[in-house]
Structure 1
């Protein structure tokens, strides 16, 4: 079948397809000790591996944690834990009123922030049903989550990043390089027959359907489709 196609090379791994570890400032997590009720924002830093900036939060016992910086927060602000509705506060979903915009939501108690961490994304609290809280996400999907899960008040900063174009291909190159994205992506039909099953100019048409039992490297396109076309 010639050379390995990109999908197989990516699955094999290797530094070309991995995000360099030095691009990550650290793990974003909540402080789960209930003996501490607040923290102070000491700095706001850039993280090339993420879309949103990070806030460095220091607690009274000198523990330092990284949080996703919400829009409007600044150095010196107080981050409340377990109570209060100020910007950047972290508290259980059961204590958050309806209509509030939240981010960095846990999927189960103690999981750490998992949902709505990207810049400009947020969920809206719709209501409470028994021990669940109903949330609406940016996609319009409504999900019910345990009321003891923690969430952060506010919207992650940097939401207007799509409004500024890249202008130059080089900027997109460095953005992709920082996050382990293989860019640019070449179409299969633009390759040679040795590089991709769709490559080459000798065939008038290229059928996209392929058997489910095709060998690796040939299994691209519509795999064992029930039907083709509209």
Structure 2
């Protein structure tokens, strides 16, 4: 599915978000966040780069012949077997309802409502930890330290999302940012007042920016 670019403009053509525009063409990959093919084993065919997210994705082939993309968890490689459902083994890449996952496990792609599909912990290196199970709810600890309760029938995928080194990537040159659709950031002091985002305010510059200051001594 081909993606269209907005260039940071709204429906009136006005810039609402700065520093967006250009970039390489992209196609959207339909990723299976629901993991609802229960009891059907699948084999990982390959891992792929996805320009629409920081995590890598894995193309999996189910035993019934269907292929789907899933988020690639840490340690998953081509040839591995994965499965969904209450009978799935406790190993990275398998998706189960959280009533069947041991307390203390780290999971990702966590649902907030049963059957809606994973919404939490989907970016590169993300995970949440199951810290308690009480009745019809489980308590999750997010990486921010926030504690959140969700129904026990919500699904989650075991393990953490792979490609945790995503933030360590060095782009190397300005052009690499332009490939990703990031435009330059211009300092406000380098703009004319009419071009400044808060154009009703005067754009001031420090004395140092105006050049050297000649000091005159009045001592004789």
TM-score (norm 2): 0.75
Question: Secondary structure of 1:114's match?
Answer: strand
Q: 1:15-164 residue pairs with structure 2 within 5 A?
A: 22-34=26-38, 36-82=39-85, 83-164=88-169
Residues 198 and 129 of structure 1: CA distance in aligned 2, closer, same or farther (over 3 Å): same
Q: Is the 8 A contact 1:136 1:143 kept in 2?
A: yes
- Structure 1 position 30, deviation (Å): 3.1
Q: Deviations over 1:7-39 (max 9, x none)?
A: xx633377x7599883322233334243x3421
CA RMSD of aligned residues (A): 2.8
Q: Is the 8 A contact 1:192 1:200 kept in 2?
A: no
Residues 203 and 27 of structure 1: CA distance in aligned 2, closer, same or farther (over 3 Å): closer
- The structure where helix makes up a greater share of residues is 1
**Which consecutive aligned stretches of 4+ in structure 1 deviate over 4 angstroms post-superposition?**
16-21, 199-205
**Structure 2 CA distance, aligned partners of 1:12 and 1:188?**
26
Greater Rg over alpha carbons, structure = 2
**Structure 1 CA distance, aligned partners of 2:202 and 2:140?**
53
Q: Is the 8 A contact 2:23 2:179 kept in 1?
A: no
Q: Is the 8 A contact 1:70 1:154 kept in 2?
A: yes
- Structure 1 position 131, deviation (Å): 0.5
| Unaligned stretches of 5+ residues in structure 2 | 1-7, 14-19, 206-220
- Structure 1 position 192, deviation (Å): 2.0
- Structure 1 position 69, deviation (Å): 0.4
**Structure 2 CA distance, aligned partners of 1:138 and 1:105?**
13
Q: Deviations over 1:96-154 (max 9, x none)?
A: 11221111111111111211111101001101121011111111111101111111111
TM-score (norm 1): 0.72
- Structure 1 position 46, deviation (Å): 1.0
Give the number of aligned pairs: 191
